Structure 1
């Protein structure tokens, strides 16, 4: 009997370790993207890796995650010549400036 308890405990610890490791690859919380007053997309617990595209350009982003974002006017998270990205801190919101154009993508800022 003791060996089956040890095996069960080891299996439980392994599963917990895998679950905790997987959570580190996700931003806990929500990102709400709007175009004026209309919600375009609500994203929950998304991956912190790579570039994320909005389905259309957005004017306002609310970051209710525990991670900071970089906002881009391009669909591929690149900064166009003469342009810039916008840093959006965790638990903050911001509006796109009409002169720079709508936000089309975001990535998570390195921490």
Structure 2
């Protein structure tokens, strides 16, 4: 028996939806990290899990992903005593404030 076009389209859509759901462990887009204007790192579709360490201290981060970030001055995504992380929203760019120091790592904010 031949399957109708509608059934084939529905089946194809369902398979695509399952495939896209399986890829949610990656942030869609790019994160651009700079040190004094020089691009240090350009990450495309990074994993949303865990802590990501920058190769050197960063002065500016542009978040072109579909997820919000947390920026840390420590290399292991921890907040030092008396410190805090910086929240960087979707599509935003932020620069460090001299008093806080350079950013050394980031993680994705839970959604």
- State the TM-score, normalizing by the size of structure 2: 0.84
1:25 maps to: 25
Q: Which runs of 4+ in 1 moved over 3 A?
A: 12-18
2:46 maps to: 46
> How many residues align structurally?
106
- State the TM-score, normalizing by the size of structure 1: 0.84
1:65 maps to: 65
Query: RMSD in angstroms over aligned alpha carbons?
Result: 2.0
* In structure 2, C-alpha distance between the alignment counterparts of 1:14 and 1:29, rounded to whole Å: 24
1:42-97 per-position Cα deviation (integer Å, ceiling 9, x unaligned): 00001111100000010000000110000000000000001110000000000011
Match of 1:55, SS state, is: strand
* In structure 2, C-alpha distance between the alignment counterparts of 1:59 and 1:13, rounded to whole Å: 43
2:94 maps to: 94
Q: CA deviation at 1:19?
A: 2.5
Task: Please list every run of 5 or more consecutive structure 1 residues that lacks an aligned counterpart in the other structure.
Answer: 3-11
* In structure 2, C-alpha distance between the alignment counterparts of 1:57 and 1:106, rounded to whole Å: 12
Task: Please list every run of 5 or more consecutive structure 2 residues that lacks an aligned counterpart in the other structure.
Answer: 3-11
1:81 maps to: 81
Q: CA deviation at 1:40?
A: 0.4
